[in-house]
Amino acid sequence: MRSQVGIIGAGPAGLLLSRLLQLHGVDTVVLESRSRDYVEARVRAGILEQHTVQTLRDVGVGERLDREGLPHDGIYLQHPGTRHHLNFEELCGRKVWVYGQTEVVKDLITAQLDDGPPLLFGVSHVTPEDVDGGAPRIRFTDADGVAQVLECDVVAGTDGFHGVSRPLVTAGTSGRLWERTYPFAWLGILADVAPSADELVYAWHPEGFALLSMRSPSVSRLYVQVDPAEKIEDWSDDRIWDALSTRLAVDGWSLRTGPVTEKSILPMRSFVSAPMRRGRLFLAGDAAHIVPPTGAKGLNLAVADVTLLAQALVRLLTEKQTDLVDTYSDKALARVWRCTHFSWWMTSMLHRHGDDFDAELQLSQLRRVCSSEAAARELAENYTGLAVDL
């Protein structure tokens, strides 16, 4: 087998990269270790920045998003007694869309299987080789158990946090890792009930953070801060609804409850690996960095990475110019660190940890964002997404 770009991983990063390259006449093969059903069923975050929405429209997969996605002008920030609306449209002229990552992935897979380059599910033993030379290859075993070799000009490592690509990059470069593990986790549920607010509610509470989000007019997505050692079996649906009702409470409002269809505990960490390139192997998305979910940045950052990477690879492969691949890692990392800071800041402001002194600092910061236009605009600009070139 041969293709100009071999892409490892069919998450949003790999699928969108393949689509962007295809539209610029660069051929790809995408190798995914899981099945299509598994990839399409994974529940992940659900907020798209304006740039992400525009990119999906530009590559021809925006139709269902425009039909079913929910545009939101802002969010609510809450601390006991106060629910304050931040209007992003007014603060920075941008908005965000509620549309699950799962749906984005389904749309990209449908487009790729329809008229796109090969997308192979259920492969194993994926091994990139000779990435330091000009003609790398990827060895793998296909879904029928047959050993295969994909010869390519470039390998894209979009295989997520547990993939094979990042270890190869860190082993072959004088790279660095940065990591922060937070002393709390999120317990998330999906529930068949209409959302109890028109936009997302991020709530600080003495008992811990809570978030009201949604997937559609009839499906709510909600989270409560828990200790990372908590066991999901100890959280009955009633206990979860009680915690949510307490933490999200404001006068004159009540939380609608309904059947819980999914629940899980998500660890929270920040992680950055640099550089995002070794020779002809390029990393993008969760393969290179993880942010805690509080700022809803994970998917949007992956989209920003592959937008840059696609431009760089088109220039390399069709114009034979190396300038953009040479600046890819530094440019991508500038945005990664901006989003890493924003996600860390939102996380630190909203989750209960530390002592009473910390709590007062958090409340002071929240009141500042709710009362100062400058402070609110800083949050709005970051939340709705900064320009790719920062």
> Does residue 44 touch ligand APR according to CB under 6 A?
yes
> Does residue 49 touch ligand APR according to CB under 6 A?
no
Using CA atoms, how far residue 49 sits from 55, 111, 176, in Å, is 10, 21, 29
Give dist(CA 263, CA 374) in Å, integer.
Answer: 37
> Does residue 33 touch ligand APR according to CB under 6 A?
yes
Q: Which of 18, 101, 220, 384 binds ligand APR (CB under 6 A)?
A: 101
Using CA atoms, how far residue 265 sits from 10, 45, 184, 295, in Å, is 24, 13, 10, 18
Secondary structure of 184-233 as H, E, C letters: EEEEEEEECCCCCCCCCEEECCCCCCEEEEEEECCEEEEEEEECCCCCHH
In the 8-state DSSP scheme, what is residue 164? S
Give dist(CA 101, CA 98) in Å, integer.
Answer: 9
**Window of 116-124, 135-143, 236-244, 293-301 that interacts with ligand PHB by CB under 6 A:** 293-301
Which of 207, 242, 206 is CA-nearest to residue 222? 242
> Does residue 292 touch ligand PHB according to CB under 6 A?
no
Q: Which of 5, 7, 17, 47 binds ligand PHB (CB under 6 A)?
A: 47
Q: Note if 106 is an active site residue.
A: no
Q: Note if 202 is an active site residue.
A: yes
Q: Which of 9, 11, 12, 46 binds ligand PHB (CB under 6 A)?
A: 46
Q: Note if 71 is an active site residue.
A: no
> Does residue 168 touch ligand APR according to CB under 6 A?
no
**Window of 51-59, 121-129, 290-298, 372-380 that interacts with ligand PHB by CB under 6 A:** 290-298
Structure tokens at 296: 């809803």
> Does residue 117 touch ligand PHB according to CB under 6 A?
no
CB of 114 to ligand APR, least distance (A): 19
Q: Which of 22, 52, 78, 213 binds ligand PHB (CB under 6 A)?
A: 213
Q: Note if 297 is an active site residue.
A: yes
Structure tokens at 125: 């033993």
Three-state DSSP class for residue 96: strand
Structure tokens at 365: 């910061």
Which of 252, 255, 239 is CA-nearest to residue 201? 255
> Does residue 294 touch ligand PHB according to CB under 6 A?
yes
Residue 159, binding choice from ligand APR, ligand PHB, none, Cβ under 5 to 8 Å by partner class? ligand APR
Among candidate residues 12, 275, 292, 293, the one labeled active-site is 293
Using CA atoms, how far residue 375 sits from 58, 81, 91, 151, 366, in Å, is 32, 21, 10, 51, 10
Among candidate residues 202, 223, 289, 292, the one labeled active-site is 202
> Does residue 221 touch ligand PHB according to CB under 6 A?
yes
Q: Which of 128, 208, 285, 385 binds ligand APR (CB under 6 A)?
A: 285
Structure tokens at 369: 């964002």
Task: Give me the residues that bind ligand APR (CB under 6 A), please.
Answer: 8-14, 31-34, 39, 44-45, 101, 126, 158-160, 162-164, 285-287, 298-299, 302
Task: Give me the residues that bind ligand PHB (CB under 6 A), please.
Answer: 45-47, 200, 213, 221, 293-296
